[in-house]
Amino acid sequence: MIHQQYFLGIDGGGTKCKARLESQNGELLGEGLSGPANPAQSADIAFNSIIDAAAQAVASANLPTETIKTLHVCLGLAGVNIPAYRGLAEAWKLPFANTLLTTDLHIACTGAHGGQEGAIMITGTGSSAFASVDNVHTIMGGHGFPLGDKASGAWLGWRALSATLESMDNLMPSTPLTDAVCEQLQACKSVDIVAKALHFRSSDYAVLAPLVVAQAKQNESLATSIIEDGATYLTAVLLRLSELNPQRLTMIGGLASYWSDHLPDNIQRLLSPALCSPEYGAVALARQAFKEA
Amino acid sequence: MIHQQYFLGIDGGGTKCKARLESQNGELLGEGLSGPANPAQSADIAFNSIIDAAAQAVASANLPTETIKTLHVCLGLAGVNIPAYRGLAEAWKLPFANTLLTTDLHIACTGAHGGQEGAIMITGTGSSAFASVDNVHTIMGGHGFPLGDKASGAWLGWRALSATLESMDNLMPSTPLTDAVCEQLQACKSVDIVAKALHFRSSDYAVLAPLVVAQAKQNESLATSIIEDGATYLTAVLLRLSELNPQRLTMIGGLASYWSDHLPDNIQRLLSPALCSPEYGAVALARQAFKEA
């Protein structure tokens, strides 16, 4: 009787949870997609999303439901770099055979480098950096908006909106970018913008990021200065990452290709393309942790 | 029979509501102090705080409870510069004889100038500016943190904390200020600071502001550069205010005396001292609006 091993990778974030199920020899068997899985937001919701995504992956592979008990799993979750939230996830009674718990950053890095070690700079709604070199993990950034997340979509939008309000106070001239912000928000008075922005979250600011990118393409001066500040920050982080001597260095996330084109040549030369997805990285880590000899 | 008129001034903010009751000829009769009164946070709580503070002022003046129905009132409330929240306050069924509704900025300005028009720059937990010139009102700043509130206590603390995290990422050297921030937060790792700051509000950041002020006194370079940025912003706002030709220009709020000493001489020369409190200003406005000929 052939003893088949199954490896499941989970990528759990603030809005969704993805699962990828592979066979012993690396064949993709099934996938799953469910809701939020960030224990820093809600440990109960995260637990349910993980079970849901895993069950979907087993079902889509046409495997019996009880296969879930035999899975070798790597969970890559947002928030678990913070000890208190890691503790919540460690306390879960999960139904799998084995579970490796790590950060969303670790699986994204492993995926970007095709299952190997390396370093990544992520720029999407937020920003953060991660390196795995000789099994030593380094996290940079990821401080959350407004404390950090420089060069992220939220940061770009926040810079644009903040400047728009200063222009309305006549502390600086209005510009094509500040005009575009007013148009997108359908607000032409400072008080209307403040009212709209009163409960803005990172994702609301990030909606304005494409305006900065579009204006910078036209060489608009305000947009250009924001992009220059972001590029300066990314350059500093990427240089720090490269000093750790990672095998590969890659930018990922929604803004990665934009930023890659706007960094100094000597920095661009350090970068390699992303190879695979975070959930692929999670499967690779599950395989490294639990594969039978 | 002598017909006595009573004037009540209310200063309603996010944490407390103050009332000041004066007689027709300007004698202080009673005072009141109650809870939050910002309709942008909760219109119901604000309503109750206002009634509570007014009733306390009447009681402390040893006047009959029903005197509240005869009061000529000016309400100066945070948040009512935003039309939606102004609408909530306008819909209140208040028990007073007459009510003038205006902003906390307007009464603070009127108080600072002893019942007259003028302009103010407020720097406390937040920052904002207001001018009343020939009955035309101008608001600058007051955008809320993190969009604006530059040079405020929240902004100073945020700058210090953000720099502390960058120093932990080795993107800049640690300094006496970043060391002081770690000590105050009792956190020596980036992840511990991020965990603590996850739900920080303006007032939590503002707790760190005295560290910036203290280090700037020692000529610490990071603190000095933060103070210079704040002073540059305040200089720009104060110049804009002075261009409106106010009768007087005054800085108020918890950081006012600090900042006044750290502005260029030509700006310091524009400033006059604050004369009276916001609730005094509210009484003055009630008197101007409702005093019988």
Q: What is the mean pLDDT of each run of 10 residues along chain A (293 residues)?
A: 85 94 95 95 95 98 97 95 93 97 97 97 95 96 89 97 95 96 92 88 94 97 98 97 97 96 96 96 97 75
pLDDT at site A1: 47
In a domain, A76, yes or no: yes
E strands present in B124-248: 127-133, 136-141
A30 domain-assigned: yes
For residue A51, give Cα distances in angstroms to A32, A94, A105, B163, B234.
10, 8, 21, 40, 54
Residue of A147, A165, A170, A204 for testing the chain B interface, max B β-carbons within 10 Å: A147
Shortest CA distance from B202: residue in chain A: A146
A106 & A197 share domain:
no
3-state secondary structure of A237: helix
At residue A292, the pLDDT reads 78
Identify which of A142, A169, A195 has the shortest CB distance to residue B140: A169
Q: Which amino acid is at A139?
A: I
Q: How many CB contacts within 8 angstroms connect chain A with chain B?
A: 90
CA distance B214 to chain A (A): 22
CA distance B7 to chain A (A): 30
- For residue B239, the chain A residue with the least C-alpha distance is A171
Sheet containing strand B28-34, strands side by side: B28-34, B17-23, B6-12, B72-77, B98-103
A81 and A19 belong to one structural domain = yes
Judge: B237–A169 Cβ closer than 8 Å, yes or no. yes
Q: Is residue B143 part of a domain?
A: no
Residues B281, B246 share a domain: no
- Are A26 and A65 part of one and the same domain? yes
Task: Report CB contact under 8 Å: B148, A158.
Answer: no
CB-CB contact of B51 with B37 (8 Å): no
B82·A191 Cβ contact <8 A: yes
Strands A72-77 and A127-133: unpaired
Q: Is A197 on the interface with B (CB under 8 A)?
A: yes
Q: Residue B13 falls within a domain, yes or no?
A: yes
The alpha-carbon gap from A70 to the nearest alpha carbon of chain B, in Å, equals: 34
A151, A131, A150, A127: which is closest to A139 by C-alpha? A131
The pLDDT confidence band at residue B101, using thresholds 50, 70 and 90, is very high
Tell the residue number behind the tokens 């405020």, with chain if given: B152
A143 in contact with B, Cβ within 8 Å: yes
Q: Is the pLDDT of residue B293 over 80?
A: no
Give contacts of A170 with chain B, Cβ < 8 Å: 140, 240
Cβ–Cβ contact B139 with A under 8 A? yes
Query: Are residues A13 and A90 located together in one domain of the fold?
Result: yes
The span from the CA of B73 to the CA of B101, in Å, is 9
- Directed axis angle between helix A153-168 and helix A190-197, to 10°? 150
From the list A144, A191, A197, the residue facing B147 with the nearest CB is A197
pLDDT of residue A48: 97
Say if residue A88 is in the same domain as residue A175: no
Q: In which domain, by residue range, is A221 found?
A: 153-246
In a domain, A56, yes or no: yes
Chain B neighbors of A193, CB-CB under 8 A? 143
Is the domain of B39 the same as that of B94?
Answer: yes
Tokens 């205010």 correspond to B241
**Gap between the Cα atoms of A73 and A64, Å rounded:** 17
A155 in reach of chain B (CB within 8 A): no
Contacts of A142 in chain B (CB under 8 A): 194
State the CB neighbour count (10 A cutoff) for residue B17.
29
The residues facing B77 across adjacent strands are B12, B103
Asked if B140 and B123 touch (Cβ cutoff 8 Å), the reply is no
pLDDT at B2 over 60: no
**B84 min Cα distance to partner chain A (Å):** 8
Find the CATH number of the domain harbouring B101: 3.30.420.40
CB contact under 8 A, B146 and A139: no
Clarify whether residues B109 and B161 are in a common domain: no
Q: Note whether A195 contacts B82, CB cutoff 8 Å.
A: yes
**Per the domain annotation, does B144 fall within a domain?**
no
Nearest CA distance, A255 vs chain B (angstrom): 21
Of A142, A165, A237, the CB nearest to B148: A165
Tens-place pLDDT, residues B110-154: 999 999 999 999 999 999 999 999 999 999 998 888 888 999 999
Q: What values do phi and psi take at A33, rounded to 5?
A: -145, 125
Which residue in chain B is spatially nearest to A130 when comparing CA positions?
Answer: B169
Instruction: Decide if B58 touches A, using CB distance below 8 A.
Output: no
DSSP secondary structure code for residue B116 in this structure: S
Task: Using a CB–CB cutoff of 8 Å, tell me whether B231 touches chain A.
Answer: no
In a domain, A286, yes or no: yes
Residues A14 and A108 in one domain: yes
CB of A194 less than 8 A from some CB of B: yes
Residue A254 maps to a domain: no
* Residue B97 shares a structural domain with residue B162: no
% pLDDT > 70, chain B = 99
Comparing alpha-carbon positions, the chain B residue that sits nearest to A202 is B146
Contacts of B81 in chain A (CB under 8 A): 191
- Give the nearest partner residue to B162 out of A148, A190, A193, using CB atoms: A148
Question: What would the pLDDT profile of B152-195 be if each residue is shown by its tens digit?
Answer: 999 999 999 999 999 999 999 999 999 999 999 999 888 899 88
Task: Please say if the pLDDT value at position B14 is more than 50.
Answer: yes
Q: Decide if pLDDT at B16 tops 90.
A: yes
Spatial contact of A281 and A108, defined as CB atoms under 8 Å apart: yes
Number of domains within chain A: 2
| Domain identity same for B93 and B158 | no
Residues B10 and B50 in one domain: yes
Q: In this predicted structure, what is the pLDDT of residue A269? A: 96
Chain A hits for B171, Cβ within 8 Å: 140, 233, 236-237, 240
